[in-house]
Amino acid sequence: MNHSKSKAIVLSGLLVSFGIIVPVFFHMFGGAGPIFLPMHLPVLIGGFMLSPFYAFLVGIITPFASSVLTGMPVLMPMAPIMMVELGFYGLSVALLKRVNLHDIVALVGAMILGRLAAGLMVAIMVNLVGIKFAPPIAYVTGAVIGGIPGIIIQLILIPSILIAIRKFKPELLRK
C-alpha cells in the first residue's frame, strides 16, 4: 500500500471517528444534533482533504457507524437517508474543489446536492419501500429550516478550519 493511500485511509478513519464522537457531545445537551448538524462537519471537511472516493465513503460510513455504535441516528429510517446525504456532501465537495471553486461555493453546492440526494432517498423509501415518512419536499424543507443554526456554523467554522489547515498543515488539503 502506498503512502498516499495509507494517509487517506487513516484520515478517513479519523474523520469518521469525529463524526461519531462530536454528535454525542451535542446530544448531551438535549438532542441538538438536528439543529447544529455536528455529524456534517467532519464529512464536509473530509471533502476538502480526501479524494472523491474516500470523501464519499466517510459520508456513508459515518452515519451508519454512529447508528450502530450510539443509536444516533436511528437505524430506520434516518441512517439510510443520512448515509446518502452525507455521502453526497463528501463527494460533492471533493468534486467541486477539483474544478477549483471557492471553498464557500463548494460548501454551499455540496449542501444543496446532499439535501437533494436526501430528498431523493426519502422519495425512494416512501414510494418503493413503503416507509411512512414526510413527503420528500417537506423533509428537505424541514431539514433546511431546522438546520439553519448548523448551516451557519458550517459556513463559519469550516472555512476557518481550512484557513488554519492551510497555514499550519497545508499538505492535508487536496490540491
Is residue 144 over pLDDT 70?
yes
What is the dihedral sign for C-alpha 165, 166, 171, 175? Answer: positive
> 36-55 pLDDT, tens per residue?
899 999 999 999 999 999 99
* 34 pLDDT more than 90: no
Q: What is the mean pLDDT of residues 91-109?
A: 96
Give the whole-angstrom CA distance, residue 39 versus residue 34.
Answer: 9
Residue 166 corresponds to which amino acid? R
